[in-house]
């Protein structure tokens, strides 16, 4: 069994998630044209998720867009910053009034999880932000994370100069720093996506259950035809599920009795044992969801479940 999860609320630094600030009169219009969600009606304090996909509907990045009034803060998936920025640079027309700044060195993103974080957020920004909204405190901005999730999780963003003050406040309120293994336990058990694992350029947003990040009535956007076709057919080739495993599963694609399975992440959880995220055929869930697959140390018995793990 892996390391025990520390008790109490935790913070995890999301350093590999890109932070990009867009400004200019056409910033929203640009994102409206090249990403999946309807951002046109966003106004200051709104937060919305949207996907950057290619013309084949494949995921390039999952973005949390924070409308700050005169600027948009884009927070991307892990390790996808170069892809996002190259895409933005290519997408800007001579007609577009859009400027972009790499804010990775200026802004810090932390995710807070665990029982009691709501109280901490109230201390940081005065009250709990409404769903789909951010709130600003003296030292940071706060909103629910890009991932679907339970109540006890928040993203906070602050300028690098406020780091000590914010970390000190978190410490005062009993929020501990989570190490990578603890973060992966939280992430995988909640079914949260990670750039380079679940968001990898081969998968379509609907296969990752990102329905709330796609608008089917906003008009054309890059990759729209593919998503519209999948939606109208009502059929997905594969879907992201959780796997409860008897031992460590092998990452990557393998053929099993349940068909092709792509294991994207796995971790040994202190309460749940070995768990994984995987793309499987939807029919797998219609059966009993049990099958065997290859593990790093031999055969592994697995049971597929709907996310998050309980």
CB-based burial, 50-84: b 16+ in 10 Å, e otherwise: bbbbeeebbbbbbbbbbbbeebbbbbbbbbbbebb
Site membership for another protein, residue 75 (CB under 8 A) = no
Q: What angle do CA 203, 206, 211 make, to 5 degrees?
A: 145
**Minimum CB–partner distance for residue 104 and another protein (Å):** 8
Give yes or no for a contact between 110 and 155, defined as CB atoms under 8 angstroms apart: yes
Parallel, antiparallel, or unpaired: how do β-strands 290-295 and 107-113 relate? unpaired
In whole angstroms, the minimum distance from the beta carbon of 215 to another protein comes to 14
Nearest to 60 by CA among 265, 252, 205: 205
Which residues share a beta bridge with 276? Answer: 243, 266
In the complex, least distance from residue 7 CB atom to another protein, rounded to whole angstroms:
34
Closest CB to another protein among 71 and 200?
71
For residues 82 to 111, the per-residue mask of contacts with another protein, x marking binding by CB under 8 A and - elsewhere, is ---x--xxxxxxxxx-xxxxxx-xxx----
Mask: binding to another protein, 16-35, rule CB under 8 A, as x and -?
Answer: ----xx-x------x-xxx-
| Subset of residues 163 to 192 that bind another protein, contact rule: CB under 8 A | none
Of residues 58, 68, 272, 308, which one binds another protein by CB under 8 A? 68
CB 290, CB 301: distance < 8 Å: yes
**How many residues at the interface with another protein, by CB under 8 A?**
43
Q: Least CB distance from residue 236 to another protein, whole Å?
A: 20
Q: Which of residues 198-237 bind another protein (CB under 8 A)?
A: 220-225
- In the region spanning residues 135 to 164, those forming contacts with another protein, defined by CB under 8 A, are 141, 157, 159-161
Tell me: does residue 55 bind another protein (CB under 8 A): yes
Task: Name the token pair of 305.
Answer: 């479940």
CB of 92 to another protein, least distance (A): 4
CB of 260 to another protein, least distance (A): 27
In this chain, which of 42, 51, 59, 73 binds another protein, going by CB under 8 A? 73
Question: Is-contact 3 181, C-beta < 8 A?
Answer: yes
Nearest to 308 by CA among 267, 275, 281: 275
Contact footprint for another protein (CB under 8 A):
20-21, 23, 30, 32-34, 54-55, 68, 70-71, 73, 85, 88-96, 98-103, 105-107, 141, 157, 159-161, 220-225
């Amino acid at each position: 069994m892996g390391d025990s999860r520390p008790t109490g609320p935790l913070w995890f630094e999301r350093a590999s998630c890109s932070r990009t600030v867009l400004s200019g009169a056409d910033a929203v219009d640009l994102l409206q044209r090249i990403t999946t969600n309807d951002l046109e009606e966003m106004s200051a304090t709104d937060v919305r998720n949207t996907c950057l996909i290619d013309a084949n509907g494949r995921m390039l990045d999952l973005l949390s867009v924070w409308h700050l009034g005169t600027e948009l803060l884009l927070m991307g998936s892990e390790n996808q910053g170069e892809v996002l920025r190259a895409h933005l640079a290519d997408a800007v027309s001579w007609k577009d009034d859009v400027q972009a700044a790499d804010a990775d060195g200026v802004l810090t993103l932390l995710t807070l999880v665990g029982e009691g974080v709501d109280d901490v957020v109230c201390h940081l920004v005065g009250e709990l932000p409404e769903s789909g909204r951010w709130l600003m405190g003296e030292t940071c901005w706060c909103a629910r994370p890009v991932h679907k999730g339970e109540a006890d999780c928040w993203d906070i963003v602050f300028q690098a100069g406020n780091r000590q003050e914010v970390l000190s406040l978190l410490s005062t309120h009993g929020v501990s720093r989570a190490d990578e293994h603890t973060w992966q336990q939280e992430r995988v058990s909640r079914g949260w996506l990670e750039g380079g694992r679940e968001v990898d350029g081969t998968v379509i947003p609907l296969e990752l259950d990102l329905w709330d990040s796609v608008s089917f009535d906003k008009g054309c956007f890059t990759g729209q035809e593919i998503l519209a076709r999948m939606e109208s057919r009502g059929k997905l080739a594969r879907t992201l599920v959780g796997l409860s495993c008897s031992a460590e599963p092998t990452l990557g694609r393998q053929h099993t009795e349940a068909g092709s399975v792509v294991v994207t992440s796995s971790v040994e959880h202190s309460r749940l044992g070995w768990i994984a995220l995987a793309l499987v055929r939807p029919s797998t869930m219609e059966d009993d969801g049990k099958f065997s697959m290859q593990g790093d140390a031999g055969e592994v018995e697995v049971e597929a479940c709907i996310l998050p793990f309980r």
